[in-house]
Amino acid sequence: MKHELWILKYRPRSLEEYVWQDREMRKTIEGWLALGALPHCLLSGHPGSGKTSLVLLLLDLLEIPQEDVLRVNASRERKIEDLQDKIIGFIDAWAFNPSGLKYIFLDEADKLSGLAQGLLRNEMETYENCRFLMTCNEPRKIIPALHSRLQEIKFNTLNKNAFIMRASDVLDREQIRYEPETLLGYVEQLYPDLRKCIGTLQLYCRDGILLSPPEIETTIDYLPTVIDLFKSGRHLDARRLLINKADPDDYIGIYRSFYQHLDWFGTTEAQQDRALLAICKGMLNHNQAADQEINLAALLAELSLIAKKTDI
């Protein structure tokens, strides 16, 4: 298709095409495939890290027909009444594939209500012919009863070299001419969201050439207020506003904005160096933290202390 979206066109179709986090992840996945079936599993990590692509790839490799897969966008169908009839009706039907297993894929499962998650727990215990595959950005919002029944794979921030190689591979396969510095400009603005990067590259290609990256403005509309509070010395108010307003999908953009505006946290080179190290530490801890909100709050507290110190 002439106007096919690249993020769909270049969705991985084999284990070799997938951009793996590390060898251990691939080894785990290969073990599942060798068994010919997937366990109840939870794939967690930031947006654009490849969670949904991996689920779809595994279903393809296991040759599970569409009739045996129920896909639910949990960010839209969050309530128990939205799920109950759909899931039970699906499970009760016979499977078409030789394994006899059916799969329910819940994208953004952390958006489900507690009651809806409780329903899923009951269905996991009741039906042995169905497996639940879930993705989420915030694993802390998955209830403990589900966590104990799911095998979790955590998606950390993708290695930047692997990120660049995947983006350049897509451009090469599309026969797009580009300067390495131009591609790196997109990477600097969009890393670590690979899905968004590939979509943006397609948007800014003209006549077989990759254009220079525009300034991709943040859509986090409350950040200017946060900045003003920081600049006026009202650091506690800035932290409270950010924690109250920030959506989990905004967190990576917030870290990026902090990095691009180190002057918010001090005018001296020493202050800005310390702020950079604090932001780096916050990003490294982002996906490992049991509570990402607390991790962000801790970073803000540290940045506030740096901004207050005028003797460094």
Nearest Cα to 312, choosing from 277, 267, 260, 261? 267
Q: Look up residue 47 and give its two tokens.
A: 């947006």
Same domain, 134 and 198: no
Same domain, 45 and 120: yes
Per-residue pLDDT band for 1 (boundaries 50, 70, 90) equals very low
pLDDT at 160 over 80: yes
Q: Calculate ∠ Cα 18-4-250, nearest 5°.
A: 60
Choose the weakest-confidence range: 48-62, 64-78, 220-234, 274-288.
Answer: 220-234
Averaged pLDDT of the chain: 87
Same domain, 78 and 36: yes
pLDDT at 64 over 80: yes
Same domain, 197 and 237: no
Mean pLDDT computed over 37-47: 92
Instruction: Give the whole-number percent of the chain exceeding pLDDT 90.
Output: 46
Same domain, 144 and 75: yes
Look at residues 210, 233, 251 and tell me which one is the last residue of a structural domain: 210
**In this structure, what CATH number is given to the domain that contains residue 167?**
1.10.8
Coil, strand or helix: which one is 94?
coil
Higher confidence at residue 103 or residue 284?
Answer: 103
Considering the domain boundaries, does residue 297 fall inside one?
A: yes
Same domain, 137 and 260: no
Choose the weakest-confidence range: 4-8, 75-79, 278-282.
Answer: 75-79
Look at residues 116, 131, 155 and tell me which one is the last residue of a structural domain: 155
pLDDT at 242 over 90: no
Domain that includes residue 186, residue range:
160-210
C-alpha dihedral (174, 180, 185, 189), degrees to nearest 10: 60
Rounded-to-integer distance, Cα 231 and Cα 262, Å = 12
Nearest Cα to 41, choosing from 52, 305, 91? 52
Mean pLDDT computed over 273-298: 84
Look at residues 137, 155, 173 and tell me which one is the last residue of a structural domain: 155
Same domain, 261 and 284: yes
Rounded-to-integer distance, Cα 222 and Cα 241, Å = 8
User: Considering its fold, how many domains does the chain have in total?
Assistant: 3
Same domain, 135 and 227: no
Same domain, 48 and 119: yes
Give the pLDDT score at 236. 80
Prediction pTM value? 0.68
Same domain, 204 and 239: no
Same domain, 91 and 110: yes
Same domain, 134 and 253: no
Considering the domain boundaries, does residue 106 fall inside one?
A: yes
Considering the domain boundaries, does residue 151 fall inside one?
A: yes
Mean pLDDT computed over 36-64: 93
Give the pLDDT score at 276. 93
